[in-house]
């Protein structure tokens, strides 16, 4: 009786080795380079090669971290907003009086949108080339929408605590930030210097908080 060779089952394929961990310092350098170039050159004129060169990394590293230029733009916007308005601004702290919390958020937001680089970025977003692209949606979701949703969640907590009477927190959130930008931001975007009679930022923020509380605070 002849013996047949016994075939051993094939070993299962080894799982692919995980990619190299991303370097946070390189990521930060890429984001900062992208932010500077987008503001000074405009989105369309900036290439991934330029961003890589400015950040001191290879183009492959840029793609490895962010995938494509549109995603990098969105992350640059998100990083800018996180820097100006960190998540901690919206953390729950029942010990902080409502007015003080609103004024803190208002001051941070006003300083962020009135910074020269933010005003320059707003002008770029209003250009015909950018409007015709998908970038406005990327910008809105990465920046204003994130801030408004975080503030809306804070309003809901204060409503539950009996401090505010608001039927639509999301709409109230949009009202708050629109009032904060107000005339000062519109003047800055068109380059109008107000004839040297610009309102004090502190007074502007306090006036907006006063109006907001008159509309929504529980008497």
Structure confidence at residue 110 (pLDDT)? 96
Structural domain includes residue 7: no
Measure the CA angle with vertex 118, ends 89 and 104; round to 5°. 25
Query: Does 112 lie in the same domain as 58?
Result: no
Q: How far apart are CA 174 and CA 207, in angstroms?
A: 17
Answer whether residue 164 shows pLDDT above 90.
Answer: yes
| 99 within some domain | yes
CB proximity list for 155: less than 8 A, separation 6 or greater: 164, 166, 169, 172, 173
CATH of the domain at 158: 1.10.357.10
Q: In whole angstroms, give the CA distance from residue 145 to residue 152.
A: 10
Structure tokens at 83: 């820097």
pLDDT tens string 54-111: 999 999 999 999 999 989 988 888 888 888 898 889 987 778 899 999 999 999 999 9
Q: What pLDDT, on the 0 to 100 scale, is given for residue 198?
A: 63
Give the integer Cα–Cα distance in Å for 168 and 159. Answer: 11
Structural domain span for residue 134? 91-216
Are residues 103 and 181 part of one domain?
Answer: yes
For residues 151 and 50, state if they share a domain: no
Name the more confident of 9 and 130: 130
CA 192 – CA 118 distance, rounded (Å): 16
Rounded to the nearest angstrom, the gap between the alpha carbon of residue 66 and the centroid of all alpha carbons in its chain is 16
9 lies in some domain: no
pLDDT given for residue 44 in this prediction: 83
Mean pLDDT over 114-125 rounds to: 87
Contact predicate 35/79, CB 8 Å: yes
CA proximity to 74, closest of 140, 124, 149: 140
Q: Quote the CA–CA distance of 76 and 73 in Å, as a whole number.
A: 5
> Domain count of the chain?
2
Q: What is the pLDDT of residue 121?
A: 84
- Report if residue 56 sits inside a domain: yes
* pLDDT surpasses 80 at 21: no
| Residue 117, pLDDT score | 84
Report yes or no on whether pTM surpasses 0.85. no
* CB of 43 closer than 8 Å to CB of 36: no
């Amino acid at each position: 009786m002849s013996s047949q060779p016994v075939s051993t089952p094939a070993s299962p394929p080894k799982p692919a080795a995980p990619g190299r961990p991303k370097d946070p310092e390189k990521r930060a350098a890429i984001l900062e380079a992208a932010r500077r170039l987008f503001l000074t050159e405009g989105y369309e004129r900036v290439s991934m090669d330029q961003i890589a060169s400015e950040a001191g990394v290879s183009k492959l590293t840029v793609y490895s971290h962010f995938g494509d230029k549109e995603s990098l733009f969105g992350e640059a916007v998100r990083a800018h907003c996180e820097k100006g308005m960190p998540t901690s601004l919206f953390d729950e702290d029942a010990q902080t009086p409502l007015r003080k919390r609103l004024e803190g958020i208002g001051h941070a937001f006003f300083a962020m949108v009135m910074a020269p680089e933010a005003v320059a970025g707003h002008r770029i977003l209003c250009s015909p080339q950018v409007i015709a692209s998908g970038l406005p949606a990327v910008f809105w979701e990465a920046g204003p929408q994130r801030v408004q949703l975080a503030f809306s969640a804070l309003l809901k907590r204060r409503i539950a605590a009996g401090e505010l009477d608001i039927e639509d927190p999301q709409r109230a959130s949009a009202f708050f930030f629109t009032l904060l930008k107000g005339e000062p931001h519109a003047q800055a975007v068109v380059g109008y210097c107000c004839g040297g009679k610009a309102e004090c930022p502190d007074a502007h923020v306090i006036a907006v908080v006063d109006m907001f509380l008159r509309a929504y605070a529980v008497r």
